[in-house]
Amino acid sequence: MLLRHGQSSWNAEGRFTGWVDVDLTEAGEAQAALAGGLLAAESDLDVEYVHTSLLTRAVRTADIALAAMGRSWLPVQRSWRLNERHYGALQGLGKVETAERFGAEEVHGWRRGYRTPPPPLARDDPGHPSNDFRYRAVAPGALPSTECLADVVARAIPYFEDAIAPELLAGSAVLVVAHGNSIRALAKFLENISDEAIVDLEIPTGIPRRYDLGRSLEVRDVYYLGNPDDAARAAEAVALEAG
């Protein structure tokens, strides 16, 4: 199960968020609770393990969803490798402001180019992850100043293979609560989506994406829980937001 966190305050404001640690809005909290209800309604789904990023909006989404499922006691493992894509110097900027500063065509390339990162955040910037205590155990050279989607794939897939795949191969149901781009990275890997096609996959907030996997983790089926029309509308809304 892949679940994008509920709406954050900067999602609502249309600002590039990336690794900036903003919280959920009330709407985001409601989305997280709804996601938990959808998961609880799956009578054949026995979630045993949970993985999240280190960002509050994913952590709280998982907590709220698990409470709605009656499974707040489940073990949770967190990793920076499931964080959102780092948007570099764009973090904190709104879409209109960004287009005015850098040009609409350039910004479109950064948002939709698989291998095109935005301008980097300076390493001496207080907002750089190397200055954040939660990443103290991560080698400084591994912490990004900016990322393209290909970079997110490169860091997220090893985590999937090392931490998540063994649980799946053992027959356990696993819930991953993360972000639009880290979920894109996992979906690309699981579904063998091309570099060109993956950038157009919109991940709706607060709607679990369920995978039916075979013994070798091949995808037999994938779908969103709940009403498919609700998922489609939510995906369209996400397309209008910054990351």
In this predicted model, what pLDDT tens digit does every residue of 82-136 receive, in sequence order? 999 999 999 999 988 898 989 989 998 998 899 999 999 999 999 999 999 999 9
Q: CA nearest 128: which of 14, 39, 18, 42?
A: 18
| 48-69 pLDDT tens trace | 999 999 999 999 999 999 999 9
26 as an active site residue: the answer is no
Indicate the average pLDDT of the chain: 95
- pLDDT of res. 230: 87
Residue 242 has pLDDT above 80, yes or no: no
Partners of 224 in beta bridges:
209
CATH for 63:
3.40.50.1240
- pLDDT of res. 96: 85
Tokens linked to 136: 């103290």
**Active-site residue, from 51, 84, 147, 241:** 84
- pLDDT of res. 238: 76
- pLDDT of res. 78: 98
* Total of domains in the chain: 1
pTM listed for this prediction? 0.95
- pLDDT of res. 236: 82
Residue 133: domain span: 2-239
5 as an active site residue: the answer is yes
DSSP string, 110-169: HHH-TT-PPPPPPTTSTTSGGG-GGGTTS-GGGS-SS--HHHHHHHHHHHIIIIIHHHHH
